[in-house]
């Protein structure tokens, strides 16, 4: 059974640019969540999607956005990149309709902003 | 605001030396407390879910317990392959909704042979 797939795994951008990250959940999983992981703040919740609808959103500025497609694949976008956006962005999927915390994480997309 | 504090930040043990990791939390309306393991360069891997005070879960050399204010992850006779960062997370929510997970910063555990 294939796990959660995130692309790209690594990317380098400069300040002011925008970036789009992609996530393919485990087959059959309809809930997709995104988290940002940094050494200073740890893992922080960005948002969660279920059936193409955003169900929850963390405390991040509007530059961070996402969407989910009908096949449950998800993308997140960060516009007007700042140095502080450098982080590992993790996508996680889950099977049940109501998120019970049992998440299956991908290996992440490591973003470096110069 | 939900908060999760893990201690110690780092722990170095000899193989076979048992110990416990602590997770203190404050949350309004605890829906669940979760333990994850993260290896370098990997995403977190789910270990346990605890829902109410007094609950315990076990898996191989790991045992998680929960009180109203904290959770412990007990590691019995650890092996080098248990070396990882252990993350604690809580989920709040009431009614039909559920919030995203709030994670602690983790305990970096090293088991020396």
Tens-place pLDDT, residues A32-67? 999 999 999 999 999 999 989 998 899 999 999 999
Whether the predicted pLDDT of A112 surpasses 80: yes
> Tokens at residue A95, please?
């099977």
Q: Is the Cβ–Cβ distance between A73 and A23 less than 8 Å?
A: yes
In the stretch 58-87 of chain A, residues with CB closer than 8 A to chain B read 58
Handedness of CA B107, B38, A22, A92 (dihedral sign): negative
Instruction: For chain B, say whether A1 makes contact (Cβ under 8 Å).
Output: no
> What is the least distance, in Å, from the CA of B24 to any CA of chain A?
16
| Cβ contact B100–A92 (<8 Å) | no
Of A60-74, A88-102, B43-57, B80-94, which range is least confident? A88-102
Nearest to A42 among B46, B98, B104 (CB): B104
Of B31, B46, B87, the CB nearest to A43: B87
Q: Rounded mean pLDDT of A71-77?
A: 97
Confidence of residue B1 (pLDDT cuts 50, 70, 90): confident
- The pLDDT value recorded for residue A101 is 67
Instruction: Nearest chain A residue to B107 by CA: give it.
Output: A42
Tell me if chain B has a CB within 8 Å of the CB of A92: yes
Question: In this structure, are residues A15 and A81 in contact, taking their beta carbons and an 8 Å threshold?
Answer: yes
Gap from A18 CA to chain B (nearest CA, Å): 24
pLDDT the model gives residue A55: 87
Mean pLDDT estimate for chain B: 93
DSSP A89: E
Residue contact B101–A45, C-beta within 8 A = yes
Q: What pLDDT is stored for residue B2 in this prediction?
A: 86
Contact A101 B32 (CB under 8 A): yes
């Amino acid at each position: 059974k294939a796990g959660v797939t995130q692309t790209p795994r690594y990317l380098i951008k400069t300040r002011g640019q925008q970036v789009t990250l992609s996530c393919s959940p485990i087959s059959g999983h309809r809930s997709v969540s995104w988290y940002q992981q940094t050494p200073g703040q740890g893992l922080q919740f960005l948002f969660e999607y279920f059936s193409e609808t955003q169900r929850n959103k963390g405390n991040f500025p509007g530059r961070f956005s996402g969407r989910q497609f009908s096949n449950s694949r998800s993308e997140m976008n960060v516009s007007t990149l700042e140095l502080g956006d450098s982080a590992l962005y993790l996508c996680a999927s889950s099977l049940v309709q109501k998120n019970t915390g049992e998440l299956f994480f991908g290996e992440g997309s490591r973003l470096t902003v110069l | 605001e939900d908060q999760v504090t893990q201690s110690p930040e780092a722990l170095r043990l000899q193989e076979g030396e048992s110990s416990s990791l602590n997770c203190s939390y404050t949350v309004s309306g605890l829906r669940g407390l979760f333990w994850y393991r993260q290896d370098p360069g990997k995403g977190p891997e789910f270990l346990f879910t605890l829902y109410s005070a007094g609950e315990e879960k076990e898996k191989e050399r790991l045992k998680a317990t929960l009180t109203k204010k904290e959770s412990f992850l007990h590691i019995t006779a650890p092996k080098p392959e248990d070396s990882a960062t252990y993350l604690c997370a809580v989920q709040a929510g009431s009614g039909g909704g559920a919030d995203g997970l709030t994670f602690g910063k983790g305990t970096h555990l090293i088991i020396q042979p």
